[in-house]
Structure 1
Amino acid sequence: MEDNFESLKVMVIDDSKTIRRTAETLLKKVGCTVVTATDGFDALAKIADTQPNIIFVDIMMPRLDGYQTCALIKNNSAFKATPVIMLSSKDGLFDKAKGRIVGSDQYLTKPFSKEELLGAIRAHVPSANNA
């Protein structure tokens, strides 16, 4: 079973340059097109233009946090089917529950591994799995 990440557009929203760069490097290596955003406002401005297949969003961000960003994405009929994966440095039950309430599809604890990142894409983006 061969992964097919070639045509996938992935958005990574995080106020940490290190996290954005790490995720971007990992994802580009497997062939994804990566769009990064520094916060929720930045992401919402880019989302319509880029139409990402999956979105990774950090919870702790200034201005618009990950929960608010996820809720806004999921409340938009054009993007409500887009998988949103929450990223957090806290591995708390409360955070996971809150993430589910706003409609997130999965929760990854930072620092994430390449396998966790790619596993989340495989789990939520059907076209990533080429039988």
Structure 2
Amino acid sequence: MEKPLALKVMVIDDSKTIRRTAELLLEHAGCRVITAIDGFDALAKIVDERPDIIFIDVMMPRLDGYQTCALLKSNSAFSAIAVVMLSSRDGLFDKARGRSVGSDQFLTKPFSKQELLAAIGAHVPGFAA
């Protein structure tokens, strides 16, 4: 019997600690994790990897999370990929801005393994942690 392909999850964050934490939590749940340090780094990897879901930090240098999400959602090749915004700020403005650029969900840092897996379960059909 063939083993199903691992779910591909991308984590985009300029914090090495956040990337590593998310990577460990998600790999433990059986996901294949692709990391990127900012929006520019991510865009090149998204073309090659085609992740099933993307977790993206709001505040990053060069190309921030809002700009990266807007670019993805405006491109028909990638618009169906679920995007979950990550931010240490929990303000209404941040959440509204995330929705306005097409994000599917907004998680506040620090996040838990349960929150990450629940977000994947909510946006990726057939995913069971």
CA drift of 1:129 comes to 3.8
**Which residue of structure 2 aligns with residue 25 of structure 1?**
24
Residue 69 of structure 1 is matched in structure 2 by: 68
1:76, distance to aligned residue in structure 2 (A): 1.0
TM-score between the two structures when normalised by the length of structure 1: 0.93
Aligned equivalents of 2:72 and 2:26: distance in 1? 22
Identity over aligned residues, as a percent? 74
1:20 and 1:68 map into 2 onto residues whose CA distance is 19
- Give the aligned partner of residue 87 of structure 2: 88
Name 1:60's counterpart in structure 2. Answer: 59
Does the Cα contact within 8 Å between 1:6 and 1:31 map onto a contact in 2?
A: no
Task: Write out aligned runs for 1:38-49 (5 A).
Answer: 38-49=37-48
**1:35 equivalent in alignment to 2:34:** yes
Which structure has more relative contact order (CA 8 Å, sep 6+)? It is 1
CA–CA distance in 2 between the matches of 1:129 and 1:74? 25
CA drift of 1:100 comes to 0.2
Q: Which amino acid aligns with 1:28?
A: E
- Alpha-carbon displacement from aligned partner over 1:100-131 (angstroms, at most 9, x marks no partner): 0000000000000000000000000002049x
User: Aligned with 1:21: secondary structure?
Assistant: helix
Aligned residue pairs total: 126
Letter in 2 for 1:107: F
Deviation at 1:33, TM superposition (A): 0.3
Alignment TM-score, normalising by the size of structure 2: 0.95
Runs of at least 4 residues off by over 6 Å: none
Q: CA deviation at 1:72?
A: 0.5
Where structure 1 has 5 or more consecutive residues not aligned to the other structure, the ranges are: none
Query: Gaps spanning 5+ residues in structure 2: where?
Result: none
Counterpart of 2:126? 127
Per-residue CA deviations over 1:32-83 (Å, capped at 9, x if unaligned) read 0000000000000100110000000000000011000000111111110100
